[in-house]
Amino acid sequence: MSTSDKTRNRKIIVNSLSKSYVTKKESFLALDHVNAHIYENEFVTLVGPSGCGKSTILRILAGLEDASSGSASISGREIEGPGADRGVVFQSYTLFPWLSVRDNIEFGLSLRNVPRKKRKEISDKYLELVNLVNFADTYPKQLSGGMKQRVAIARALANSPEMLLMDEPFAALDAQTRGDMQELLLNIQKHEKATILFITHDIEEAIFLSERLYVMKSRPGRIVREIEIPMEMRQNKELKDSEPFIKIKKEIVDLLHS
Ligand SMILES: Nc1ncnc2c1ncn2[C@@H]1O[C@H](COP(=O)(O)OP(=O)(O)OP(=O)(O)O)[C@@H](O)[C@H]1O
């Protein structure tokens, strides 16, 4: 379905969002009247240089930080704090080292007193989805970076969030693992019909994964362009050297350097 289809529900609406940080020296505008939206089941990426405010938007959507002005909502509800309706995956590994892979995945369910049998059903499902069935009893320190991020994704999904917020989740991984994780994430998105907001510095990753992307610039942090990625160009690594792919990539690079 085209993202411009007006019948598609807007899961996230960001309305004139601004954020300033006051330091000893200055008041700094990290986000300047940002408007954006994410449709249900859509994969949207924020791409831009370091410091343009990508993580600030994500933290506000996660409810980990307040906006200075403007608003953000999920399914029509104003975002006022963290909630189980949003699953977050960060770049740094955030698993609990004292819990096994399965217990990490079940963590949010245990907090909500989901019965043991139901918890196991859910963790079984997500262990399978992220290809870690044989690692259920393993502890995080025995896992590779890619495996840790697969557990983090499974843990986020186990709570049945309405959407996933992912802040450079693959940035610390080697190229091969990163490519594998991109494929896995796209499969998960299809399987779970997930709505995803993804952050990356990597323009090729953004084009490969996204239905739509917002290009950001800094000082002040703002969105300078919204780009829809044609369906036929997504999810196909072979097209990386094709003319249309290079054209979109150049459009983004030119924007970032202008
Ligand atoms: N708590 C804070 N206090 C002061 N300034 C902050 C704070 N958090 C973020 N900033 C500043 O706000 C700007 C936006 O930061 P943010 O982390 O959102 O950028 P980013 O685009 O995600 O960067 P990166 O890609 O490096 O993670 C940066 O200049 C950063 O230094």
ipTM of the complex as predicted = 0.96
The C-alpha atoms of residue 100 and residue 135 are separated, in whole angstroms, by: 9
Please state whether the predicted TM-score (pTM) of the whole model is above 0.90: yes
Residue 254: pLDDT over 60: yes
The residue with greater pLDDT, 2 or 138, is: 138
The yes-or-no verdict on residue 170 having pLDDT over 50 is yes
At residue 228, φ and ψ (nearest 5 deg) are -90, 130
Single-letter code of the amino acid located at 154: A
Burial class of residue 230 in the structure, from the number of CB atoms within 10 Å of its CB (0-12 exposed, 13-18 middle, 19+ buried): exposed
pLDDT at 148: 95
pLDDT range class, residue 5, cuts 50, 70, 90: low
Centroid of ligand 1 to alpha carbon of 52 (angstroms)? 7
| Radius of gyration of the chain measured on its C-alpha atoms | 18
Confidence bin at 4 (pLDDT 50/70/90):
low
Sheet of 27-39, strands arranged across = 27-39, 10-22, 69-74, 77-78
Q: Span 124-141, mean pLDDT?
A: 96
Query: What is the CA(32)–ligand 1 centre distance, in A?
Result: 13
Parallel/antiparallel/unpaired status of strands 86-89 and 77-78: unpaired
Average pLDDT, stretch 166-195? 92
Q: What is the pLDDT of residue 227?
A: 95
What value does the mean pLDDT take over residues 165-192?
Answer: 92
The set of residues, in sequence order, having a beta carbon less than 8 Å from that of 199 and lying 6+ positions away, is 45, 46, 47, 54, 55, 58, 166, 167, 168
User: Residue 1: which pLDDT band, with cuts at 50, 70 and 90?
Assistant: very low
Alpha helices in the chain (DSSP H): 54-62, 101-111, 116-129, 145-158, 175-192, 203-209, 243-257
Sign of CA dihedral 71, 39, 191, 178: negative
Report yes or no: 66 and 17 within 8 Å, Cβ to Cβ. no
Domains of the chain: 1-85+163-177+194-258 (3.40.50.300), 93-160 (no CATH)
Site to probe by mutation for ligand 1, drawn from 32, 47, 55, 68 as the one with most ligand atoms within 8 Å of Cβ, is 55
Quote the pLDDT of residue 234.
77
pLDDT per residue over 23-59, tens digit each? 888 888 999 999 999 999 999 999 999 999 999 999 9
Tens-place pLDDT, residues 182-226:
999 999 999 999 999 999 999 999 999 999 999 999 989 999 999
Q: Pick the closest to residue 37 from 67, 63, 57 (CA basis).
A: 57
Pairing verdict, β 10-22 and 27-39: antiparallel
Question: Residue 2 pLDDT > 80, yes or no?
Answer: no
Question: How far does the centroid of ligand 1 lie from the alpha carbon of residue 104, in Å?
Answer: 29
Q: Whose CA is nearest to atom 25 of ligand 1?
A: 50
- The rounded Å distance from CA 9 to ligand 1 centre is 30
Please give the distance, rounded to the nearest whole angstrom, from the Cα atom of residue 103 to the centre of ligand 1.
Answer: 32
Q: Which atom of ligand 1 is nearest to the CA of 22?
A: 4
In 3D, which of 44, 20, 92 has the Cα closest to residue 189? Answer: 44
pLDDT in tens, 78-105: 999 999 999 999 988 789 999 999 999 9
Determine which residue's CA is closest to atom 5 belonging to ligand 1: 21
Pair of tokens at residue 233: 């160009």
Pocket of ligand 1 (CB under 6 A): 21, 23, 28, 30, 48, 50-56, 201, 221
Distance CA 205, CA 218 (A): 20
